[in-house]
Chain A
């Protein structure tokens, strides 16, 4: 079982009080549940079709939690499933 990966970056290394802080989080999880479905049709006489296969991939669901030891509150403004953006006030 693979663990997820995450990396966080801020738009600037330092801020003036009151500045907008933008936090970008990139995350992924290789621990997906992949498989293949095979379908074979059999008629009343027992004749079988050629097998047809379809692959599927069930991705794990990730949840993010952001904490700041400076006491600021980061609010999520977007999240496309692999990159999430948060903002806070410095």
Chain B
């Protein structure tokens, strides 16, 4: 349950206010789980995969819907796609790509450079500038703004500071992160709590979040269940499993993830 309050002040300093309450439906019912499409092995994906992470390995094509991974996602009844745009993407390309996804009936979560910290591909200042610039363009095209940072940054690990990536209030519709809990020096529960704390600094005023990549090796179904429980109680909207290399989806993790 939440409440919005509107206060009006006239030029004489007189004020009045009005409040209206609302409720957010069960987060559990609202969270959609999906997976990475493209070069990932998809043999364990079920018939319906509501969220599709579409990674632009070499950029998105002129027509997003012709992309092989997007076709695979549509075949799996995807309802939402998670996209990101590198610094080289033009405003026209961003607009066209988001519009193509939306026109196809897909909920489109998009942001600037994915994991700018990875290999120092983009400075924090440039990433902030890029996302402030792209946010109105993505929204105007019908998309939802959700740039993705590494979980280590939000959790203030590895000497990082989420304040370096702080976006102005109102820039994003949801904040995004990628989570590989077993690659971090702290337990997942502690990591998730730290991520939320950092998100309040990097994405002020935004309660909802998405996960572009979540990954654990086989044998860690309980970690997945714990993650989903935490996410459902803390504003998670969409999450995709990253099934590649050491996090390749296994029977036990698929069964836990795609419930």
Contacts and interface: CB of A to CB of B under 8 A. Distances in A.
Interface of A: 1-10, 12-18, 21, 23, 25, 27, 29, 31, 60-75, 89-90
A17 B83 CA distance: 19
Contact of A73 (B11, B18, B21, B206): B206
Contacts of A14: 22-25
Contacts, number: 139
A23 B23 contact: no
Nearest to B31: A17
Contacts of A60: 10-12
Contact of A5 (B16, B169, B208): B16
B170 A73 contact: yes
Nearest to A23: B4
A65 B169 CA distance: 15
B19 interface: yes
Chain B interface residue bracket vs A = 35 or more
Nearest to A15: B24
Interface in B12-57: 12, 14-25, 27, 29-31
A8 B30 CA distance: 26
Contact of A17 (B6, B14, B235): B235
B9 A65 contact: yes
Contact of B29 (A13, A16, A65, A71): A16
Given A14-B22, A18-B144, A90-B24, A69 B6 contact: no
Given A6-B16, A17-B30, A62 B8 contact: yes
A10 B7 contact: no
A82 B29 CA distance: 38
Given A25-B6, A69-B3, A89-B144, A8 B12 contact: no
Contacts of B207: 70-72
Contacts of B206: 71-73
Contacts of B23: 13-15
Contacts of B201: none
24 contacts: A4-B15, A6-B8, A10-B22, A14-B24, A15-B22, A15-B25, A16-B25, A16-B30, A18-B30, A18-B173, A18-B237, A23-B6, A25-B6, A29-B8, A29-B10, A60-B11, A64-B7, A65-B7, A66-B6, A68-B5, A70-B207, A72-B206, A73-B169, A75-B170
Q: Which 4 A-B pairs have the closest CB atoms?
A: A70-B2, A17-B30, A60-B10, A3-B14
